[in-house]
Amino acid sequence: MELDKCIKERRSVRKYTNKKVSWSLISKILDSGVRAPSSGNIQNYNFIVVQNAKKREEIARAAGQLWMLESPVFIVICNNKDKIKKFYEEDAEHYSVQNCAASAQNMLLTAYSLGLSTCWVGSYDEIALQRILKLPDNVKLEMIITIGYSDIKIKEPKKFSVDRLTYFEEFGNTKK
């Protein structure tokens, strides 16, 4: 699928069919995640693939988003802070989240190109998920990606236009 089409058509989907997602597709999505840019190529993330129904339910409840239950696969993106702190001091925090986000976006687009639907989930009870997923103290959950097949078509939510959001040479200057 053309990248442009993928970028324009990808939507956050919160309704899925019960069709199983094959491991070969999941692994392609994960592979796209590790190919994202990261500061110093440090790749301070770990991914947790969650398919177990009971665990997915615990996660959906900790997120307070029960729609997630319909999605058969979650990819949890964790920020391995120790890994990045070895290389960067005060900038570690700043870079580490960006590295996870770049990886997440690659996964969303790859999933869409493979005929799958996704949603980025960033709202959850962090402490509960730390326990559910047995995350060590130095590892922080940054986002969850729900993945599945969907038969619904979602209209693009209204987006600000490029003109409205772009300045030239300095903040606030709208003249090219």
Nearer to ligand FMN, 13 or 84 (CB): 13
Contacts with 150 (C-beta within 8 Å, 6 or more apart), sequence order: 13, 15, 16, 17, 117
For the CB of residue 121, give the shortest distance to ligand FMN in the complex, in Å. Answer: 4
Contacts with 132 (C-beta within 8 Å, 6 or more apart), sequence order: 55, 58, 59, 62
| Residue among 22, 123, 138, 173 that touches ligand FMN (CB under 6 A) | 123
- The DSSP result for 43-84, as a single string, is --EEEEEE--HHHHHHHHHHHT-GGGGG-SEEEEEEEEHHHH
| Residue among 88, 95, 120, 149 that touches ligand FMN (CB under 6 A) | 120
| Residue among 46, 51, 65, 130 that touches ligand FMN (CB under 6 A) | 65
| Residue among 111, 121, 129, 145 that touches ligand FMN (CB under 6 A) | 121
User: Interface with ligand FMN by CB under 6 A: which range of 33-41, 49-57, 114-122, 131-139?
Assistant: 114-122
For the CB of residue 170, give the shortest distance to ligand FMN in the complex, in Å. Answer: 27
| Residue among 26, 36, 75, 119 that touches ligand FMN (CB under 6 A) | 119
H/E element, 114: none
The residue number with the shortest CB distance to ligand FMN is: 122
Q: Is 130 exposed, middle or buried (0-12, 13-18, 19+ CB in 10 A)?
A: middle
Residues pairing with 90 in the sheet? none
Where do contacts with ligand FMN occur on this chain (CB under 6 A)? 11-12, 14, 65, 119-123, 157
